[in-house]
Amino acid sequence: MDQSLAGKSIAILVSNGFEEAEMTEPQRALIKTGATLRTISTETGLVNGWHGKSWGHYFPVDKHLSEALGADFDMLLLPGGERSVAKLQQSAHTRRIVGHFLDAGKPIAAIDQGIQLLAIPGKLRGRLLAAPEAYRADLTAAGGRISEEALVVDDITVSALGQDQLNEFVEAVVKLFTELGSVRKAA
C-alpha cells in the first residue's frame, strides 16, 4: 500500500448539506496514501451529508470551525453542496482558514459549489480555476482566472465543475497532494 502521504494532515471543510460523494470519494483515496483526514465543520459532533435528492449519512466532526487553525493542516479539501457552502460562506473562520492555505501556498482541492469558498478578495492571485458560470464573477474579482475546462490543476489547486468529473477530480487530488507532499517532506 502506498503511504506517500503518511504524516500529512488534510482538513475537509464542510457543513450540513455537503455533497457526500464529493467528500467520501477523495477521502477514501487519500486514506489509502497514509494521510490523516480531519473533518472541520460549523457543526458540533456530527455533520449531515446530502446524497442524491435527500439527506445522507452523518459523519463525525473532528474539530469545530471556530477552533481550527489552517497551520495545523498540510492540505485542504472543499466539497460542494449548496447548503454546506452557504453556511460556510457566512463564517469569517472559513475565510480565515481558506485564506491561510492560499497565502501559505498549501494544496487545495475544490469541487462544484466548494469552489466558491476560494473567492476571497486578493487571495487567488491569478490561479487558474474550473468554475461554474454562477461563481465566475466572484472568483475573477478575487484575482482568479477562469478556465473553460471542467477540471483544472494549477500549481497548488485542483478544481472541478461537479460530480461528472468526480473520478478525474479524485485522481488529480491524489496525484497533486502526493507530489506536493513528497516535495515538502524531502525539503
pLDDT in tens, 23-64: 999 999 999 999 999 999 999 999 999 999 999 999 999 999
Q: Mutual orientation of helices 20-31 and 166-186 as an angle, nearest 10°?
A: 40
Q: Where are the domains of the chain?
A: 9-182
Half-sphere exposure of 20 (CA within 13 A, CB side): 13
Ordered alpha helix ranges (H), the chain: 20-31, 82-89, 92-104, 136-141, 166-186
Single pTM value for the model: 0.95
Compute the distance between CA of residue 77 and CA of residue 156 in angstroms, rounded to an integer: 12
pLDDT tens for residues 84-121? 999 999 999 999 999 999 999 999 999 999 999 999 99
CB proximity list for 120: less than 8 A, separation 6 or greater? 95, 98, 99, 102, 142
The CATH number, out of the four listed (3.40.50.880, 3.40.50.620, 3.40.50.970, 3.30.310.10), of the domain defined by the range 9-182:
3.40.50.880
- Residue 22 near residue 92 (C-beta atoms within 8 A): no
